Amino acid sequence: MAKPDIFKIYNEEKNSDIKYFTTFTYGCQMNEHDTERLAGQLKRVGYEYCDQLDLANVILINTCCVRESAEKKIYGKIGELKRIKVANPNVIIGITGCMAQKDKEKIFKKAPHVDFVLGTHNIHELSDVITEITNSREHVLAVWDQAERLAPDVPTVRKGDISAWVPIMYGCNNFCTYCIVPYVRGRERSRTLSDIVQEITQLGQDGFKEITLLGQNVNSYGKDSGGQLDFADLLQAVDKIESIERVRYMTSHPRDMNEKVINVIGESKRVCEHFHLPIQSGSDELLKRMNRGYTTDYYLKLVEKIRSNIPNASITTDLIVGFPGENDKLFQETLELIKLVKFDAAYTFLFSKRSGTPAATMPDQVELAIKKERLQKIMDEQNEISLTINKKLEAKQLEVLVEGSSKNDVNKMMGRTRTNKIVLWDKVGTEQPGKLVTIDIQKAQTWLLKGQLFA
Ligand code: SAM
Ligand code: SF4
Ligand code: F3S
């Protein structure tokens, strides 16, 4: 069963005069951050966070629809909440996020116990919607089709106190043929540089050490607002904010990653040398059908530029297996490409038909069993590569930002390198979360590094 999000609980003692909320989040970091903006609005109107479903007066499910598997899981979760509604008819259940934007009133038909559906462009309306429901007890649908401008700012409560997400732009103009995101998140809208810098400066003053700049395609930053300032300029400005230790960003589209950005990252102090560059496929024919706007040759040159400029950079990627038209030969091209590039890690997905996208009705759809077989081959190959790369870090001393205790072992601490590798080490007691420490790496695994605090 999916667990509720974890926000800080300010008061353990439950009080019947206080109203409580619980949230569940699915999907990407942008959605995780949207949950923080939803929680911020609830707090502003007097709700406190609690992690007990039975006590909650408002339950939010912030949804994703990027793949069918995510949707199935979410509809399952919504079904489970019927029990809570029967036990407590006054509870307000709201569905927000990308699936809310896509399915709209269909959600009420499938799950009449849901009270409201709030679209991705309507996040700032949450407290008004809750008031409306409290007064009328009718279903409320608040889903705008498009957002022409940036939505008004809303208060935010952060889940952590070391790392924070900062959106720099919303939406996507790329329309990759498999992807639902442009339909549910609208066109690109960039925030102003001064707003972003101001928010990060404040986060630094509040004690945050790491910032992740968010956007579906961060390299398009500024293009929708005249193009005077681009992503590289933004990175340069953010790099000067002294109270922050590290800056990351998600996600950059390979087509729009350029030399200026690579140079700025190479010269910057705080922007980490980790490049997440989703390639999606190693076949030029499939890349064309996906409408990705680059070739494998272009991608390989980009990797070369990054590695020659920043030799210790890590490079990770996303791959879709079983895109329509992927035959054994084209699949083999992807396998060859991952052997050639040697990614630090790859996030691999089975192609999922998204109704309304061009790829859903393309000919030569691939059978599920073949997709699964190919996914396994890719994962086996990539795991070996990741392990080989990580092994080279054994006996090295790496700078790690302490995040906290390991989830599985309270005697171990957990943090990340600048290259975004997870590191575990035996707790000493002096390594406070938020501190930069040096870890002597002793054992490398596929997904993590183990070591000891370096004296
Ligand atoms: N904007 C990012 C980019 O273009 O790199 C990606 C955002 S998307 C939320 C994350 C990943 O989901 C994509 O890189 C892609 O690999 C995967 N994805 C998107 N649509 C998919 C689909 N229909 N089936 C399978 N995977 C999909
Ligand atoms: Fe989807 Fe492509 Fe936009 Fe990424 S760039 S969100 S994959 S349409
Ligand atoms: Fe993110 Fe899923 Fe929406 S990946 S943008 S929450 S469809």
179 lines ligand 2 (CB under 6 A): yes
Tell which atom from ligand 3 comes closest to the C-alpha of 63: 6
Structure tokens, 199: 């928010």
26 lines ligand 1 (CB under 6 A): no
pLDDT at 10 over 90: no
pLDDT at 17: 78
pLDDT at 15 over 80: no
pLDDT at 258 over 80: yes
| Predicted structure pTM score | 0.95
What's the first-to-final CA gap in the chain, in angstroms?
A: 42
Tell which atom from ligand 1 comes closest to the C-alpha of 172: 1
Tell which atom from ligand 2 comes closest to the C-alpha of 216: 6
Average pLDDT, the chain: 95
**What tens digit of pLDDT does each residue of 21-39 get?**
999 999 999 999 999 999 9
Phi, psi of 157 (to 5 degrees): -110, 135
Show the DSSP H helices in 219-343 as ranges. Answer: 231-239, 259-267, 284-289, 296-309, 328-341
pLDDT grade, residue 2 (50/70/90)?
low
Mean pLDDT of 277-296: 98
pLDDT at 9: 67
**What tens digit of pLDDT does each residue of 201-210 get?**
999 999 999 9
**Alpha-carbon gap, residue 180 to 64, rounded angstroms:** 10
Closest CA to 313 of 346, 278, 273, 343: 273
**Dihedral sign, CA of 30, 36, 40, 43?**
positive
Closest CA to 444 of 405, 404, 396: 396
pLDDT grade, residue 11 (50/70/90)?
low
253 lines ligand 2 (CB under 6 A): yes
Mean pLDDT of 191-213: 96
252 lines ligand 2 (CB under 6 A): no
Closest CA to 44 of 127, 132, 142, 165: 127
pLDDT grade, residue 52 (50/70/90)?
confident
pLDDT grade, residue 7 (50/70/90)?
confident
Low-confidence winner among 6-20, 169-183, 311-325, 434-448 (lowest mean pLDDT) = 6-20
Mean pLDDT of 139-157: 87
Mean pLDDT of 170-189: 96
Structure tokens, 283: 């076949």
CB 169 within 8 A of CB 188: yes
Q: Degrees (nearest 5) of the Cα angle 384, 335, 248?
A: 65
pLDDT at 68 over 80: yes
**What tens digit of pLDDT does each residue of 345-371 get?**
999 999 999 999 999 999 999 999 999
**Dihedral sign, CA of 298, 302, 303, 308?**
positive
Spell out the domains of the chain, with CATH numbers in brackets: 2-142 (3.40.50.12160), 160-272 (3.30.750.210), 277-391 (3.30.750.200), 397-453 (2.40.50)
CA of 28 to the centre of ligand 2 (A): 12
**What tens digit of pLDDT does each residue of 108-140 get?**
999 999 999 999 999 999 999 999 999 988 999
Mean pLDDT of 429-449: 95
How many other CB atoms sit within 10 Å of the CB of residue 58?
22
